[in-house]
Structure 1
Amino acid sequence: MSAELWILVATALLAVVTIGAAVIAVRAARRVALPPEPRPVARAPYESSLVITYDEPETMHVPHELQPRIVEGHLIVPPSQQQVVNTALGRPGVRLSILAHGLAHALRPESRDRITAMMRREYRRRRRERLQAGRRAVRAGRPTPPSEEWLGGPS
């Protein structure tokens, strides 16, 4: 097997592991329940004349079709837009098609070439930095001898 094929296989494997970790993280985040926001408690005013009042948030206008209603003795609450999107994108078929599309895009020749070029540039940049750091370390460890004008010699 060529080195490019090994890199391609390793990249695909890494992508699958990353997507799996992302799915697990999203599921764990959905399970975490946020604590309810504390509501202000009305207290008797103290000796000062300062009184704090809290206004109720303004309610948004909801179209008639999206308002909860009772049908045949059952309360029907239409889903919010966010719930519809989560349901549509949460289906296994949709997730699989998104994964397949991403893998197909990553495995296209132009994407592979772009990724290979980026890796090559990064490798060269890091190598250049290592060489420069090595040269600086050699210079720092071996200071140049002082010149004649610093020693007060003949001018």
Structure 2
Amino acid sequence: MPADMVVLVATAVLACVAVVAALVALRAARQVARHQHADAPSPAEPATPAAVAVRDPEPQQAPREVRVVEGRVIVPPSREEVVSTALSRPQVRLAVLLHGVARALRPESRDRIGALVRREYRDRRRHRLRSGRRAARAAHLAVDPTPPSAHWLGEADGRAEDRAIGA
């Protein structure tokens, strides 16, 4: 590879790294600005005591302690909030998905799934055949059955008398 191509590729990589670094810095600056804006006490708010017990709207939860530390209000999360937050993380969701796929690919699971598919296939085939037989029987019964005497007389529809009289 020529030297000018190496320099061109290195410059492109450095430009991409610089753009990503700028985006990360911009995001961090916005978060800092948001937290500073939220931390600024409003003049209309009265001073809050150091520890206050606050009841949640759900009666089954215990009261949660609210603390003010360096001008910030701190409320410890409930157990349900911790679990829902932990399970909503992408890494955890990916781990759960991979665990499920690995479990489904185990030999015993594959055999069980194959057996279920075969059973479902057989049941549907049996149902289809029964429906076909029922439809054939219904179509056969809808046609006038020929009387047994017509067969030995050589008449196809069993109305030999009607033809003899009408002719």
Task: Give the TM-score of the pair, scaled to structure 2.
Answer: 0.47
Deviations 1:93-131 (A, max 9, x none): 211211111010010111011001000000000000000
Is 1:68 aligned to residue 52 of structure 2? no
Query: CA 1:147 to 1:82, structure 2 compared with 1: closer, same or farther past 3 Å?
Result: farther
Partners of 1:73 and 1:114 in 2: CA distance: 59
1:100-111 to 2 correspondences below 5 Å: 100-111=98-109
Partners of 2:92 and 2:77 in 1: CA distance: 20
Is 1:138 aligned to residue 130 of structure 2? no
Residue identity matched to 2:65: Q
Residue identity matched to 2:83: V
Query: CA 1:147 to 1:78, structure 2 compared with 1: closer, same or farther past 3 Å?
Result: farther
Matching residue within 113, 116, 120 for 1:115: 113
Structure whose residues are more often helix by fraction: 2
Residue identity matched to 1:122: E
Query: CA 1:121 to 1:60, structure 2 compared with 1: closer, same or farther past 3 Å?
Result: closer
Mark the runs of 5 or more structure 1 residues left unpaired by the alignment: 1-56, 149-155
Query: 1:61: how far off?
Result: 6.8
Which 4+ residue blocks in structure 1 deviate beyond 4 angstroms? Answer: 57-61
Partners of 2:103 and 2:119 in 1: CA distance: 21
Task: Give the TM-score of the pair, scaled to structure 1.
Answer: 0.51
SS of corresponding position for 2:128 = helix
SS of corresponding position for 1:70 = strand
Deviations 1:71-99 (A, max 9, x none): 22211111122210111112222112111
Structure 2 match to 1:81: 79
Aligned residues: 90
**CA RMSD between the two structures:** 2.6
Matching residue within 126, 129, 146 for 1:128: 126
Partners of 1:123 and 1:81 in 2: CA distance: 46
Partners of 1:129 and 1:105 in 2: CA distance: 32
1:91-106 to 2 correspondences below 5 Å: 91-106=89-104
Query: CA 1:69 to 1:120, structure 2 compared with 1: closer, same or farther past 3 Å?
Result: same
Which of the pair has more CA radius of gyration? 2
Query: CA 1:70 to 1:98, structure 2 compared with 1: closer, same or farther past 3 Å?
Result: same
Query: 1:60: how far off?
Result: 5.8
Structure 2 match to 1:44: none
1:19-98 to 2 correspondences below 5 Å: 62-63=62-63, 66-98=64-96
